[in-house]
Structure 1
Amino acid sequence: MGNYKLVSDYRNNKDLRASFNELAINSFEIDFRGWYNKGYWNDKYIPYSFVDGGKVIANASINKISVVIKGKTYNGIQIGTVMTDHRYRSKGLAKQLMWHILQLYKDSCDFIYLFANKSVLDFYPKFGFTRIDESEYSLNLEKSSIKRKMDTRLKKLTIEKDLALLENFAKNRYINSMILDVKHNEALLMFYFTIVFSEVIFYIDDLETIVLMEHEEETLHVYDVISLNQQNIEAVLENIIFESTKKVVFHYTPASLIEGMEVITMPDDDDALFVLSDTPLLNGNFKFPITSHC
């Protein structure tokens, strides 16, 4: 095995940051530059990387995150952006980075968790992680009394024109659910605003609410609902469904069940949740907000 250098927390190192970004683009087609350049990469997101010849060749990052579970706030560490340059695979670099992170944080947080795809489902149990299946919350509109509001004022937002509004809502958002949610998550939410969901940001003027959403034939995917105050989800839906919409899928945990809502445990091999904790914290029906995945 080569003598590679372990580095971390280098967001202000131009060369290493550029190399990290290049590896992220090659691995996930994700470009972090816009997020960093706007000042959203803060000290909660820390990469741990092996470097060879000044180039980042393997990485595992952590994000310090406050997680609300059944009304109580826990200090969580989420591991993400686990990637290795294809020329350096099968050398155990990801394994070393994982052990390093676990040794650093296992005694200073309430739990550690991550999301994994089907190619590494057997990898994380080796470190003591347990897989927990999340739930899918969906609404069958044929079993609901919710109807489209005809005079809705729905505006599409853009990073270029509405950045100040997005930053304010990310910083001061109301927690959607006491069952499971995250808070003080503005940096990661701005990542989703600027990179992942930049084309599907909408604003309901009458409710002063931002909705990340996308229609797929007769199904409406609601990725997140961001407001400065508590919102009635039925009022939100009245403003965003189409006449053709038959089903709504929520990519987070709603605050409560409403008429026509269905909840089922939904194993997902492409985005499987793994948790490491001394005591079981997560049970029953829940779904981490997709905008909290790092």
Structure 2
Amino acid sequence: MSEYELISDYKHNKKYKESFNELAKKVFELDFKEWYGRGCWNDNYVCYSYVDGEKVVANASINKMNVILNGKEYKAIQIGTVMTHPDYRNQGLAAKLMDYIVKKYEQECDFIYLFANDTVLDFYPKFGFERMQESRFSLRTSDWKEKISKKVTLRKLDINKQADFELMRGFAISRAAISSVVGVKNNEHLLMFYFILAFQDSIYYNEEEDIIMIFEQEDNQLHIFDIISKNKVEIDTVLRCTTLDYIETIHFHFTPDFDNKKIYSEFIEENDDVLFVLPLLKDKPKHFLFPLTSHA
């Protein structure tokens, strides 16, 4: 392997930042430019990259955050944006970056975790990561329709309107963890990524309850991706924000923390994002799901 320079934490270096973005576009078809152009790249997102001259050719990033598990708060590192330029593969660059990050941070946090697709499931165990099985959660609305008498009006937010952008950013900064079972705090940079790049057309504000919801309807199925609030949100509040007349099932893309025994849970047998953790979480609940909007 040729000797490439290892660089890190270059969010203020325009040259490296743009080269990183070009690599992300090439490998993942992701364009980070609007995200960092609007000031969302903060100190909790740190890139570790190999450069060939001034060109970023391989990268692995860390996301510093706090994770809530069964009511306890842990200091965690999530690894993401692991990528290598096609012309520089098979040189062990990703492995060297992973090894460097694990050695640097494993004593500084309670655990390190990441999500991997099915093409690299054999890669991460080499560094001590163990696979964990998540669950999916859903609720049939038939048991609740008659209980919800008052509906609320939602306003669709537009990320391109400065007032809406500032509203979203304020919620991202001060949000409460969505669940005391499994929740995430201090991940403003990731939530803003989802606001800006993933769910632009699916963000709604409930002014009466002062919450932001990210959801999409698919026929008679409702997918709730996140509920952003400064306080704990109850199931009745969520259901008042939905058109239950047309919805049969609500799918939660996080671990619901509602006082409702009718929420159905089952292990996910096949998943595009497989969870790996180092070290293995011993105090985890039986059924859990990391919030989708916390995935790096």
Common fold: TM-score over 0.5: yes
Deviations 1:58-99 (A, max 9, x none): 111001110011111111010000011111111111111100
Deviations 1:117-148 (A, max 9, x none): 01001111111111001111111223444677
SS at structure 1 position matched to 2:190: helix
The answer to whether the Cα contact below 8 Å between 2:214 and 2:226 also exists between their aligned partners in 1 is yes
Structure 2: unaligned runs, 5 residues or longer:
none
Q: Distance in 2 between matches of 1:255 and 1:151?
A: 22
List aligned pairs for 1:44-55, cutoff 5 A.
Answer: 44-55=44-55
Deviations 1:204-260 (A, max 9, x none): 232221100011122111000011222212221222235221111101111135253
Q: Distance in 1 between matches of 2:218 and 2:182?
A: 26
Bigger mean CA deviation after superposition, 254-263 or 173-182: 254-263
Deviations 1:175-214 (A, max 9, x none): 2211110112222211111111121101123222110001
Instruction: State the shift of 1:37 in Å.
Output: 1.4
Structure 1: unaligned runs, 5 residues or longer:
none
Aligned partner of 1:24 in structure 2 is 24
SS at structure 1 position matched to 2:160: helix
List aligned pairs for 1:129-208, cutoff 5 A.
Answer: 129-145=129-145, 151-161=151-161, 162-208=164-210
Bigger mean CA deviation after superposition, 252-261 or 38-47: 252-261
Candidates 224, 227, 230, aligned match of 1:225? 227
The answer to whether the Cα contact below 8 Å between 1:47 and 1:59 also exists between their aligned partners in 2 is yes
Quote the RMSD (CA, aligned, Å). 1.7
Cα distance change on mapping 1:149 and 1:60 into 2, 3 Å: farther
Q: Distance in 1 between matches of 2:156 and 2:6?
A: 43
Aligned partner of 2:39 in structure 1 is 39
The answer to whether the Cα contact below 8 Å between 1:207 and 1:236 also exists between their aligned partners in 2 is no
Aligned partner of 1:59 in structure 2 is 59
Bigger mean CA deviation after superposition, 118-127 or 271-280: 271-280
SS at structure 1 position matched to 2:241: helix
Q: Distance in 2 between matches of 1:83 and 1:239?
A: 39
Q: TM (normalized to structure 2)? A: 0.94
The number of residues matched between the two structures is 294
SS at structure 1 position matched to 2:100: helix
The answer to whether the Cα contact below 8 Å between 1:148 and 1:240 also exists between their aligned partners in 2 is no
SS at structure 2 position matched to 1:193: helix
Q: Distance in 1 between matches of 2:198 and 2:105?
A: 28
Q: Tell me, yes or no, if structure 1 residue 77 matches structure 2 residue 89.
A: no
SS at structure 1 position matched to 2:189: helix
